Structure 1
Amino acid sequence: MNDIAGLMERRRRLLGPNVPTFYETPVEIVRGEGVWLWDADGHRYLDCYNNVPHVGHCHPHVVEAIAKQAATLNTHTRYLHQGILDYGERLTALFGHDLDTLAMVCTGSEANDVALRMGQAVTGKTGMIATDNTYHGNTALVSQLSTRRPPIGGYPPNVRRVPAPDSLRPVGGGQEVQAQAFAQNVARAIDELEAEGHGFASLTICPFFANEGFPVLEPGFLDPTVEVVRRAGGIVIADEVQPGFGRIGSHFWGHERLGFAPDVVTLGKPMGNGHPVGAVVARPEVMAAFRQAFGYFNTFGGNPVSCAAANAVLDVIETERLVENAHDTGQYALARLGELSHPMIAEVRGAGLFFGVEFVTDAQLTPATEFVETVVEAMKARGILLNKIGRAGNTLKIRPPMPFSREHADLLVDTLAEVLETLPA
């Protein structure tokens, strides 16, 4: 038997306390392939959670590209190499709105850190706005936006967090007014930042509002907000780490689905299928301002191996038609989830291969947080890995690798139905 207790003790001793793990009894994963993971005892799990292996765990084309380039050359961008230019041309061709320059980094956190500094460089101001239930990374600058744990000493005075949109509890009290109410809250935050002397530099949002619980929002939802930001002279940063690279099925990028034009887009985890690579894509005038204001260099950002990995991911997305698969399988999975019957189900929602179910305990929409935790554990015991999300953690978060098929969706939903039948309402 796998010694979980022994591994946890070694982690505490070597890594320190409070290093997070999933599940009451953590899983030691030793192998992955496609949408499947295996633990040290040989148990197989359907991975319905991880967006890092975007085109599937250990995809052979990506593995081969990494190995071939690592055996040839790996250095940094103070030497010339064509890999970053070839990839940059290919990636930026997937964007509109004059988003045609990029800075490559290693993580989404680094990407968002650079993006926030771009806002400062463009405006000469330091005020930053995000939602009040978000996560954009863990650098010292980016973590000031996060709601997971307040920074030491509290949130700095140049940061404002506005109420996040919500499907069941909309900002402003109704879906018909939520877009305008969200924009008004952003406008109010901008006025406060200007009045206090910080000024307004940037609004950072995930265009799928993933950590906020991926509420149902119609195209155009952010139009009033973008108008407010433009009028104030700030920039809009779209964090595409979770919805990007075709995950939402209908579009390659989340901002395309909502129908707005960001000034900066940040990319991370899925970009290299597990290899640490990220990027910031920006309008040329934004990039020029940043390069002028900051002497930025990243030793590993844009190295030849990372570029080979990222380029191979685009190969697989195209050749295996994974965006189309996300659309088809996502619609099928949502339809099947909609057939579930349980008195605590409040809403089934999502897009492409990013979907879930919100549970409440009563007509007042009290979040069923403990119930969802029980569901997550029960699914794991039956070989299905997923997790929870949202302000109260009462929404199942299902975000599998992109090769996820209808067959896998059937296994997921059938198992969930069995679990719900065993749990009292």
Structure 2
Amino acid sequence: MNEHLIRIKKLVIALVSIIMMIYGCGSLVMTQMIFQLFYRRGSPELQSKFNITKKAFISLLICILNFVSPSSIRISTDNATLAKGTFRKVNGKIISQLNRRSIIIANHQIYTDWVFLWWLTSTADLAGNIFIMLKKSLESIPILGYGMRNFKFIFLSRKWAQDKIILHNSLGVIDANSRGVGPLSGARPWRVDDDGEMYWDVNKTDDSKSWPYCLLLFPEGTNLSATTRRKSASFAEKVGRQPFNHVLLPHSTGLRSSLKLLRASVEVVYDVTIGYSGVGRNDYGEMIYRLPNIFVRGQTPKLVDMHIRAFKLSEIPVDDEEEFSQWLYEVWKEKDNLMENYYRDGTFTSDPELDQIVVGGFNIDPKPILMACLLPPALTLSLALVGYLAYAWLT
């Protein structure tokens, strides 16, 4: 009997999660459509409203994950590169003072890594200003694809000839907007090449019209698995590198290109190392926390560990390709050592002199999702009421 009840409970949780996801995403897209009726396309007012729906989307995902199985977050920060108090706990909620123009890089273990990192930006009220690179095919997903295009996410085909222009223009716009001289300020690029690449004046700024941003990148390109580990080892042999034990060999092209395109505005690169409870030294997180396991079986990590350190742009050899590749390799080597500590001790650090530790819930402000998801039905009911009153008055 107990087994039947457990199965029924899991089935109910899965069905409710699917309903929440479908209704939430549908409502967010409808909200975006409503905003487009009242605000001019490309206007800062419309983008501001779209950013609210971006916040609401991550709120939706976090609400679903907490409904399936609540998690806690433990953040440790490197005292040598991040000031004490960058992360702190207020009324049970973790808040932070992350930089307003930054790049986050991280190791990639499970498909929902980006959800936890997106949550990280919410601690500094930057959830509406995050940008993610996704596969081009995801742009065609019904409803979600439309919404993500309005989020200004960057869709890449992994064909450099095509992606180079998309990346150049997308990051160029992000950079120009962050300096208050982009399309959202009414400005235009000072030059457009024959191939469509746009160039913005890197010497101009207008802080009164600036927009913050946080670009999220996974230099490994994919999550850790038995197959990707073998491919990474082959790639390491090809380029004369020593493969790692707990992370994949990073690729430098995407990150270096992003840093070069954002160098007029980017202030810091946050390096995040992620570890999940329930994943052992010889396990693969993507097998344990697969999407069906999360949403159907309610199997999520009870504790998510993040170790964060920061690099100033001046500390990164962006202009030299070989030096940059070596720098990134050393960063990942240290990340591999951190993962070794994590699997041995269950934590990234235990020395308060070196690091600060903050533990809190995996939660987020629910107001954006409530507003975005309640607006369509509220507007529909209002229009229906107006229509009824008009009909009653006329007849």
Specify if TM > 0.5.
Answer: no
The structure number with the bigger radius of gyration is: 2
Greater fraction of residues in helix: 2
Greater relative contact order: 1 or 2 (C-alpha under 8 angstroms, separation 6 or more)?
A: 2
Provide the TM-score with structure 2 as the length reference. Answer: 0.30
